[in-house]
Amino acid sequence: MTKMTLGSYPHMLGFEQLERLLERTAKTGNEGYPPFNIEQTADYAYRITLAVAGFPEEDLSITVEDRQLVIRGRQRDDADNRVFLHRGIAARQFQRSFVLADGVEVGEAIMENGLLHVDLSQSVPETVVQTINIRKG
């Protein structure tokens, strides 16, 4: 069976980048940790909330790499001087990636009660009408 791509459709010109973004998003298997919410807070504003209990702010990083929002967490394992009878809370690291559309900008990040909130805003798209002149050949 042949794999259908966006380039296979004659009316979808120039969407190869979108196809690459979709493939990149599908390849980022995040195993569901940490859990997160995405909510729309206004017409062109969004908020991503990650449950990062146990991570101090200095162990979290937020970057934008090639139109991709990347949130990383690395917990320090301070178990060297502690004796656990049961260890159900493991020190683990994570990386969550979110592909951003053109015009989406990352605003502020707020840490509140073990939740990391990252605010996003999107510029209002302008309606562009262009008239193409037809010249005689």
* 26-63 confidence digits (pLDDT tens): 665 556 889 999 999 999 999 999 999 889 999 999 99
DSSP state, residue 2: P
Q: How far is CA 100 from CA 8, 64, 67, 103, 105, in A?
A: 24, 9, 5, 8, 8
- Residue 126, token pair as written in the block: 């302008």
- pLDDT value, residue 31: 66
Residue 3 has pLDDT above 70, yes or no: no
Q: How many domains does the chain have?
A: 2
100 and 84 in one domain? yes
> Locate tokens 């909330």: which residue?
49
Structural domain range at position 110: 31-122
107 and 64 in one domain? yes
Q: Quick one: pLDDT band at residue 114, thresholds 50, 70, 90? A: very high
Handedness of CA 16, 47, 113, 60 (dihedral sign): positive
- pLDDT value, residue 16: 73
User: Is residue 36 in some structural domain?
Assistant: yes
DSSP state, residue 69: E
- State whether residue 17 is helix, strand or coil: helix
User: Is residue 113 in some structural domain?
Assistant: yes
85 and 42 in one domain? yes
Mean of all residue pLDDT scores within the chain = 85
